[in-house]
């Protein structure tokens, strides 16, 4: 596992060569430049609650790790995109887990992970069933963990049906945010997504089921707002079912105080045995997803870095160490050592301030490029820390940024098959599995890349850029863009 865990040294790598000027770029206050990297337009009380949460804050996802414990297997609704009988350690998607555990086991696992992964900032309960239907186990887990790690933040993910009954209890714990999955605000549309629900001792189907679910979801949002708990809403984008409707969902949830809306693509591989998988319902293409996300961008803040991770995921977003922390690898007695996490937090505080300054400088550089130059899409190989610090062949996902004179914007990520196995690059994997995924990008930034893959990428119209190893992502992209499109003539008159 050591190759996966990010050592402190990797985020403290080489300093940028250029002098970093602390002064903000002229005329452009940090609240109006449209970058979702940092606080942006978020009010202070919201930002303080999410700034260390990798799933909520795009900036935090470079620095902090989350873990999920699968203590809540029971669910009270059936969704057409979910089949909880299916379990495979190679699968990475919500609702899937390899190991179910008791609250006592979960507490031991949290300690074992916190000792090895100092980036850990959040413990989430996301199932594999519903955290609020299986609430007894969820709350018992919180009780046991907060005795050992009082500073760890908790979060839960739920469909909202049982949530209104538990809001008061949630507020008693170290919970700043709750995720509610809402796929519709029109029960007619709900009938195509939810075949049944189980509510107050009875199974409901058809329109009745969706009506109850909808009313309870809206009540959940209002009650959470009343307790000052931040709400993120997840929506699964299902083409032809709710894709056009998600604009209405966005408006409805924003009106009820949700601060973040996460639109995720439907996963419907027939091999998973879900209703949608078996009936041939397709998921959206990456461009359909991006088009919808762009349309929604004016509503509740959108997040684009969601990795739709497993109910037992461990580590930084985009990596999963869950197989390194199965219960058989965790001893019966584990003792928590708070020192690594405390040190890590100190380092990250300094590093983040530094990173923000570098991003300001990059923004100023870009503002000086030709305004009419075309926007470019680039991919970044990174192990975290907001830096270009991964070898091309070692990347199993690339973060994608868009750049033009207005700035550098994170737009999403693309997962690829790891083509470099044990020092040897597999040409077939590169040709068939990696390059097609990167199609449409203008450049790939890596810490290092071999000459063969570099040529192969060039043939596909993608420039491999290895001139900025260990630089901050924004600094490297801005320098490259400014070199490509020159600097606009400045008018000093």
Partner 1 sequence: MAMKINASQCSACGACEFECPNAAISMKGDAYAIKASACTECDGDEPKCTAVCPVDGCIVKA
Give least dist CB 66 to partner 1, A.
23
End-to-end CA distance of the chain, in Å? 59
Minimum CB distance to partner 1, residue 96 (Å): 12
The whole-angstrom separation of Cα 79 and Cα 207 is: 14
Q: Which chain residues interact with partner 1 by CB under 8 A? A: 73-76, 78, 84-85, 100, 128-129, 133-134, 136, 198, 201-203
Give how far Cα 49 sits from Cα of 43, 153, 168, 174, 232, Å: 10, 10, 19, 11, 12
Nearer to partner 1, 131 or 301 (CB): 131
- Write the DSSP string, 191-240: TTT-SEEEETTEEEEHHHHHHHHHHHHHHHHHHHHHTT-EEEEEEEE-TT
The span from the CA of 366 to the CA of 467, in Å, is 18
Structure token pair of residue 165: 């009954």
Q: How far apart are CA 69 and CA 83, in angstroms?
A: 19
Tokens of 78: 């059936």
Q: C-beta of 191: minimal distance to partner 1 in Å?
A: 18
| Closest separation in Å from C-beta 406 to partner 1 | 48
Q: Which is nearer to partner 1, 198 or 470 (CB)?
A: 198
Rounded Cα distance, 437 and 440, in Å: 9
Instruction: Kindly state the smallest distance separating residue 190's Cβ from partner 1, in Å.
Output: 18
Closest approach of Cβ 100 to partner 1, in Å?
7
CB of 211 to partner 1, least distance (A): 18
Cβ distance to partner 1 smaller for residue 99 or 471: 99
Q: Is 24 helix (H, G, I), strand (E, B) or coil?
A: coil
Nearer to partner 1, 72 or 236 (CB): 72
Name the residue nearer to partner 1 (CB basis): 36 or 83: 83
Least Å distance, CB 444 to partner 1, is 41
Is 85 or 459 the residue whose CB approaches partner 1 more closely? 85
Q: Is the peptide bond before 128 cis (omega within 30 degrees of 0)?
A: yes
Measured CA to CA, the distance from residue 208 to residue 189 in angstroms comes to: 12
Nearer to partner 1, 75 or 465 (CB): 75
Q: What is the DSSP letter of 170?
A: H
Question: Measured between alpha carbons, how far is 245 from 209 in angstroms, rounded to an integer?
Answer: 19
Question: 282-291 long-range CB contacts below 8 Å, 24 or more apart?
Answer: 282/239, 283/237, 283/238, 283/239, 284/237, 284/239, 284/243, 286/412, 286/414, 288/237, 288/239, 288/243, 289/237, 289/263, 289/265, 290/411, 290/412
Q: With residue 8 as reference, give the H or E element that holds it.
A: helix 8-11
Q: Of 128 and 386, which CB lies nearer to partner 1 in the complex structure? A: 128
Sign of the Cα pseudo-torsion (55, 57, 58, 60, in order)? negative
Per the CB < 8 A criterion, the answer to whether 242 and 251 are in contact is no
Closest approach of partner 1 to the CB of residue 127, in Å: 10
Beta strands in 309-396 (DSSP E): 314-315, 376-380
Query: What 3-state DSSP class applies to 251?
Result: helix
Q: To the nearest whole angstrom, how small is the minimum distance from the Cβ of residue 84 to partner 1?
A: 6
The residue (of 69 and 438) whose beta carbon lies closer to partner 1 is: 69
Residue (74 or 411) nearer to partner 1, CB = 74
Q: Give yes or no for a contact between 388 and 382, defined as CB atoms under 8 angstroms apart.
A: yes
Burial code (b: 16+ CB inside 10 Å, e: under 16) for 92-118 equals bbbbbbbbbbebebbbbbbbbbbbbbb
Judged by beta carbon, residue 72 or residue 189, the one nearer partner 1 is 72
- For residue 429, the minimal CB distance to partner 1 (Å) is 34
In the complex with partner 1, the residue whose CB is nearer, 150 or 201, is: 201
Give me the least distance between CB of 134 and partner 1, in Å please: 7
Q: Are strands 196-199 and 202-205 parallel, antiparallel or unpaired?
A: antiparallel
């Amino acid at each position: 596992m050591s190759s996966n865990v990010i050592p402190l040294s990797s985020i403290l790598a080489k300093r940028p060569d250029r002098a970093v000027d602390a002064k903000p770029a002229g005329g452009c206050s940090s609240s109006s430049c449209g970058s979702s990297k940092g606080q942006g337009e978020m009010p202070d009380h919201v930002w303080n609650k999410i700034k260390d949460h990798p799933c909520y804050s795009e900036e935090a996802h470079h620095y902090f790790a989350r873990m999920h414990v699968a203590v809540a297997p029971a669910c009270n609704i059936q969704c057409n995109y979910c089949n909880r009988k299916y379990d495979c350690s190679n699968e990475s998607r919500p609702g899937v887990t390899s190991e179910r555990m008791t609250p006592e086991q979960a507490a031991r696992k949290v300690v074992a992970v916190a000792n090895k992964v100092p980036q850990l900032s959040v413990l989430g309960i996301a199932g594999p069933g519903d955290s609020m239907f299986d609430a007894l186990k969820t709350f018992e887990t919180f009780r046991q963990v907060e005795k050992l790690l009082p500073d760890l933040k908790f979060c839960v993910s739920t469909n909202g049906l049982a949530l209104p009954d538990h809001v008061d209890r949630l507020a008693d714990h170290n919970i700043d945010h709750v995720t509610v999955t809402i796929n519709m605000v029109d029960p007619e549309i709900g009938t195509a997504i939810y075949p049944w629900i189980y509510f107050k001792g009875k199974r409901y189907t058809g329109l009745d089921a969706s009506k109850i679910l909808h009313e309870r979801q809206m009540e959940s949002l209002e009650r959470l707002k009343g307790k000052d708990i931040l709400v993120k809403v997840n929506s699964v984008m299902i083409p032809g079912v709710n894709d056009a409707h998600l604009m209405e969902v966005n408006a409805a949830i924003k009106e009820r105080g949700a601060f973040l809306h996460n639109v995720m693509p439907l996963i419907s591989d027939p091999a998973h045995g879900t209703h949608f998988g078996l009936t041939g319902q397709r998921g959206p293409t990456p461009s359909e997803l991006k088009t919808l996300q762009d349309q929604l961008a004016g509503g509740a803040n959108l997040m684009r870095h969601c990795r739709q991770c497993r109910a037992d995921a461990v580590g930084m977003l985009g990596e999963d160490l869950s197989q390194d922390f199965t219960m058989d690898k965790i001893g019966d007695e584990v003792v928590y050592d708070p020192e690594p996490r405390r040190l890590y937090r100190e380092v990250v505080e300094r590093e983040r301030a530094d990173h923000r300054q570098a991003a300001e400088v990059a923004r100023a550089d870009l503002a000086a490029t030709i305004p009419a130059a075309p926007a470019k899409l680039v991919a970044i190989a990174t192990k975290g820390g907001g830096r270009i610090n991964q070898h091309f062949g070692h990347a199993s996902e690339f973060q994608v940024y868009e750049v033009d004179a207005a700035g550098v914007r994170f737009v999403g990520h693309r997962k690829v098959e790891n083509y470099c196995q044990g020092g040897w690059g597999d040409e077939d994997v590169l040709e068939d599995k990696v390059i097609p995924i990167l199609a449409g990008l203008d450049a790939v930034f890596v810490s290092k890349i071999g000459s063969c893959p570099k040529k192969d990428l060039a043939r596909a119209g993608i420039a491999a850029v290895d001139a900025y190893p260990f630089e901050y992502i924004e600094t490297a992209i801005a320098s490259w863009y400014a070199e490509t499109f020159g600097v606009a003539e400045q008018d000093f008159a």
